[in-house]
Each structure stands twice: as structure tokens, then as C-alpha cells.
Structure 1
Amino acid sequence: MRLALLEKAARESRLAHLLLFHGGSALHQREVALRLAQFLNCSYTTAEGPCQECAVCRKILSGNHPEVSWLKPLKTSIGIEQVLAWQEKLYLKHYEGNYKVSVVEQADLLTLPAANSLLKVIEEPPDRTIIILCAENAEAILPTIQSRAQLVYFPDLTEETWLRGLGEVNDQEASLAFRLSGKNQKLAEDILKHGVLLVQEWVGTIRTAIAERDFLKLFALFPIEKNQALLYLQVMAVQASYPFEFLAIGKAIDELRQQANPRLVIEVLALELFQRGGSRCD
């Protein structure tokens, strides 16, 4: 579904109660979700769009509107406890505005119990409520949820467009983050938040250790938190040049997401790459 048609449906209050945003960048998805919330609730919507001036528009943009809510992962997943708490708020009576709009960011990180709990809400949605699921990959969403959603594909943005949407950032650092991410905008945003130099330093250290088959050099990589390890390994996966490297790193990422110990995962990965002739990601 094209974004122009999506806005037209919002303007005419004809949106599907469940939308699944996929592709593109999380930033772009978030901007469109906010704009739809404004379309549905703005006091003075025009043919050009929400007025951006009324109290409703300002509250939505500032994150203070009582009918517009966000559900985000805690660390590496969205658990059932989060979904149950979110569900209670969703079924409260309307306090202000025409529509409730609830955005689930990184919905591809829902655990299976959380996804099944979400499905119950989708099957019996509250009146005048729009649920927007945002995901990098629609295929990672439970098929029974996919089948009930209006899919909205976001094409990849150019680096120039992505940089414009970031606001006040160091353009040189942002461009470097974009290149490190392999033009994956969600990953580039995470790199930028974490620190481009930190990512470069860590990835450079593990590459050197693997290239030289020097296990002692791995000690400089620790201590490390799980979310940091996931970010670093995703950067390594993007830059992998050979199938065996990509598959080994992908396996390590899956193990981390299953709550494995990050140090153990990284050491096992390094040993596996030692045996396969060292890193060829350079």
C-alpha cells in the first residue's frame, strides 16, 4: 500500500484497524505513524494534512497525547508482561481525541507468548483503535498476525534522505554509520546512538584477533552487555564477505537472542572463525 493512499484512508477515517509497517528505516516508520495519529485526531485537518498547530497535533508530536501510545522492546525482546500491561491501557475508555493509536516498535522482537497475546487483541480490537506494528522484516511476524494486517512497505531511503530525517547530528559520523550498517537504516540508527567510534574499535579488535588467530586479544572485547554484542555482531554480519562467516555470525546472533551468555557466544564464534582460516571481512 502506498503512503499517499494510507494518508488518504486516514483523512477519511477508513484505515484498517491493524497496519504492519515493514522495510525502510525505523525512523521513517515512526514519522508516518505519528502523522497518521495526527490525521486521525487533528482538530483542523486540511487537504494538505494535519495542521501541526492545534493542541492535539502538538501533544502527539511531544509524546503527551493520552490516546497515542508506544510499545517498545525491553533490551532484546517484547515479552508477554509488556503486552498484557499495554492491553489494559488499550481497553480503557477514550479520554481525549477521536482515535486511539498504538504503535508497537520492532514488532519482530515479540516473543511467541507475547505475539499470541497480541493476537487476541487484534481479533477483538477496541472501538476506534488503530494498532500499528513496525518491523524490519514482515516475515518475522507471526503468520496469523500478518494475515489480519494491512501491510505497508517502506522502500529504502537514500543516504541523503536518511540524513535529512535525523535532524541535528554530525553528518560525517552519520554517513560512516550508514556505511558500517551496509545501508541498513535501522542498524545505522543503532550504531549512531551507541557511538560510531566504539563500534569501529570493537569490530576492528575482533577482526584483528581472528585474522591473527590470537585468543588473548579477545580479552579486550569484554566485559560486554547483550545488546552491545548484538549490535556489534550485526555489523560484522553485514560486512561478511564469505558465506561461512555470515552463517557463523548469524548463528551467534540467534544464540544471543535466546539469552545465551554474550562472552561465551563471542568466544565460540571466534574459535570457529579461527578454524575456518581467519576473518575475511576486511
Structure 2
Amino acid sequence: METWSEVAHVQPLASKIIINSMKKDRISHAYLLQGERGTGKRAIATLIAKGLFCEKNEIADPCLECNTCKRIASGNHPDVHWIEPDDKSIKIEQIRNLQKEFTYSGMESDQKVYIIDGAETLTVNAANRILKFLEEPNKKTTAIMLTENSQAILPTIRSRCQVIDLRPLHPGEFQQQLIEKGLDQRSAILISAMTNNLQEAIDKSHDESFATARRIVIQLVEILLTNPQDVYLFIHQHWVTHFKERNEQEEGLDLLLFAIKDILYYQIEHEAGMVFFAPSDELLKKAAMYFSQEKLLASLQAVLQAKRKLKQNVHPTLVIEQLTLQMQR
């Protein structure tokens, strides 16, 4: 999303509030944009910054063509500062460095913007430090905080920001966006169940590693169906060697969860809820005939337990071994 008209299609209320503020020259000194991943937080923050700095001083939409707009888009504008989690949290040193930057005059104007992405990850010390920053706002400083978890934001920080709630994306609308970007319908349905971030979804659709992950899950279901005695060998030859990183392991379990759910949905004739298999898939039909609902429900619970164990740092190979053993019974 590069224009307010595009944002308005997805977040009509948020775009209306911000555009009206800009037209009346009443931009808040601090915003808190809260919403699920993919709801447009970064795009909106970038548009606010462009609106404040655009060389053509476009109110409704920045021009996107001037040197300033281009540098903000690429993250290279000296007066627009992005703060993101260092590892898993935003630390006090990052906020100290930000505050030090703001003691200097703007490089190209007297306006400065800082954007804190993942504001819910601020450590306690960092949150208290940013609170002090918000309590003494400079007239030409705009803070924009982005969060997926508003409950993790200190109430004292929330009270000093204009809070803008972003509505969740409608799955059908998001799938249509993906189809318009060239994805086939089945891929759009599956990928939209995994992420509601447009660029991430498009990248995933072109990722050979994701395509391989999908095939491995299909093969695992097939082996459980036809040769369950070979499942242990299969996971060591294919699953463990492909899903190496933590995010890949979690993605593999998510895909397996979708596959099992689809088999259950097919049994109860709820095809509208299916995301992994096409309703006409022969493997799906065979699996629905083979596995009992009791077995499928137990398998779903086993996958969810495996996801919890991964988060508890249990060794991933042990996690998948235990999972397949439970599904094999």
C-alpha cells in the first residue's frame, strides 16, 4: 500500500482519521497503531512520514516521486528513524541512541519522525525511557508506535498516544488480492491461512522451500495412510533435513495441522473450511475413509502439543519423533 486511497480500501476509518488530521495540520505528536500482522501498520507509518516530508507538500497523498519520498520508502531518510526489536526485544540502549539523535537538529528540516515497530517488545527500562520521551514532546517530533499486542503496551504510554485500531483483514478480500497478484486459488487459500502480510504471502508463493514443505506434508500423510511402519525413516530422511530452522519447523507443523483439519472437515462435509487440500484430491478422500474422527482429533491435539514443545525449546527432532509416534498408533 503506497497511497491513502489504497489504505482506505483496507483500513477506511484509520485512513480517514489520519488524512483529516493532516489536512487540518493537527498531526498528533504520538500515534499507537494496533492491529494484527499484515493490517498495514508499516505502510500507514511510512505514509504519515512521507506526508510530513514530501517535497511537493501533497496533503491527501505524498507524491512518491520526489527524492524525499523515495528515501523514506527505502529507509534512508536521516530524519525518519525506525526502531525494531534487537533479537526479541527493543532494549534501553536503542532508545538511548534514539534520544541522543533527537538532541541534534534535523539534517534537512526541523521535523523528525521515529517509528517503533514491535512496540510490545519494549523492555521495562526501554518502555519507561520512551515514556519520558513522550511526556515532553517536541512540537516538530512525531512518534509512531506499531504493535500486534496492545495489551502489552504500558497504559501510561497508551494514554499519551492517539490510538488507532486497525481492523483484521477479511480472508476473502486478502485471497482476492493474492489471486490478482498471480497466485492460483488453492495457493491463495493456503497461504492466506498462514500470513495476512501481502508481500510475505507473495514471497512464499515463489519460495521453492515452501513448495517442498507442502510436498513433504503430503508425503507424510500418504505414508501414515499406506506404510505407517516407514514413517520414522521418512521423517529422518525428509522432515528433519528440510525443516532445520525454528520458523521452518513451526511452519511444517502448521501445514500438517491444516492437512489434518482438512481431512476432518471433509468427513463432516465442511469443505468451505478446507485450506490445504482441494476437495477433489484423491489422497484427501482416501485419508477421510481411513482415519476415524477420534484418530484425527487425537492427531490435532498431538500437533498442537508439538507446537508448544517447540516453543519450550524441546529438541525439534525429538518433537517430531514423538508426534509421528502418536499419529502412528
TM > 0.5: yes
Give secondary structure in 2 for the equivalent of 1:151: strand
- 4+ residue runs of structure 1 moved beyond 6 angstroms? 237-240
Give the match for residue 244 of structure 1. Answer: 301
Deviation at 1:36, TM superposition (A): 0.8
The offset of 1:174, in angstroms, is: 10
Aligned to 1:159: 174
- C-alpha displacement at 1:37, in angstroms? 0.9
Match of residue 269 from structure 1: 319
Amino acid at match of 1:244: Q
Q: 1:45-60 counterparts in 2 under 5 A?
A: 45-46=57-58, 48-60=60-72
Aligned-residue sequence identity (percent) comes to 26
Which runs of structure 2 are paired with 1:83-122 in the superposition (5 Å)? 83-122=95-134
- Residue 77 of structure 1: how far off its partner (Å): 4.2
**Contact 2:38–2:198 (8 Å) recurs in 1:** no
User: 1:68 deviation in Å?
Assistant: 1.0
> In angstroms, what is the RMSD of aligned CA positions?
4.0
Q: Matched residues in 2 for 1:144 and 1:102: separation?
A: 19
From 244, 247, 252, give the equivalent of 1:224: 244
2:176 aligned with 1:176, yes or no?
Answer: no
Secondary structure of the 1:103 match is strand
How many residues align? The count is 268
Structure 2 unaligned spans of 5+: 1-12, 262-296
Corresponding residue number in structure 1 for 2:200: 189
**Which deviations, in whole Å up to 9, do the C-alpha atoms of 1:134-180 show, x marking residues without a partner?**
23333344444334332222331622674499xxxx72289726623
* Partner SS, residue 134 of structure 1: strand
Query: 2:151 — aligned with what?
Result: 139
**2-structure distance, mates of 1:191, 1:236:** 21
Which amino acid is 1:269 matched to?
V
State the distance in 2 between where 1:161 and 1:106 align. Answer: 28
Closer/same/farther in 2, CA of residues 179 and 116 from structure 1, 3 Å limit: farther
Which protein has greater RCO, CA pairs closer than 8 Å, 6+ apart? 1
Letter in 2 for 1:248: Q
Question: Which amino acid letter does the alignment assign opposite residue 32 of structure 1?
Answer: I
CA distance in 2, matches of 1:199, 1:123: 46
State the shift of 1:244 in Å: 2.6
Instruction: Give me the TM-score of the superposition, normalised by structure 1.
Output: 0.71
Is the Cα contact below 8 Å between 1:11 and 1:39 reproduced in 2?
no
Alignment-mate amino acid for residue 82 of structure 2? W
Distance between the aligned counterparts of 1:237 and 1:125, measured in 2? Answer: 48
Distance in 1 (alpha carbons) for counterparts of 2:82 and 2:72: 11
Structure 1 residues without counterparts, runs of 5 or longer: none
Which of 1, 7, 20 is the equivalent residue of 1:8?
20
1:182 Cα offset (Å)? 0.6
Q: How does 1:41-80 map to 2 (within 5 A)?
A: 41-46=53-58, 48-80=60-92
Q: What CA distance in whole angstroms lies between the structure 2 residues aligned with 1:194 and 1:89?
A: 40
Q: Aligned partners of 2:54, 2:187: CA distance in 1, in Å?
A: 38
User: 8 Å contact 1:100–1:129 — kept in the other structure?
Assistant: yes
Secondary structure, in 3 states, of the residue corresponding to 2:61? coil
Q: TM-score, normalised by structure 2?
A: 0.63
Q: Distance in 1 between matches of 2:195 and 2:154?
A: 23
d(CA) in 1 for partners of 2:259 and 2:34?
Answer: 23
Q: Answer yes or no: is the 8 Å Cα contact 2:35–2:148 preserved in 1.
A: yes
Q: Does the 8 Å contact 1:26/1:136 carry over to 2?
A: no
More helix by share: 2
SS of the equivalent of 1:152 reads strand
In the alignment, the residues of structure 2 paired with residue 79 and residue 12 of structure 1 have an alpha-carbon distance, to the nearest angstrom, of 36
* Paired amino acid for 2:317: E
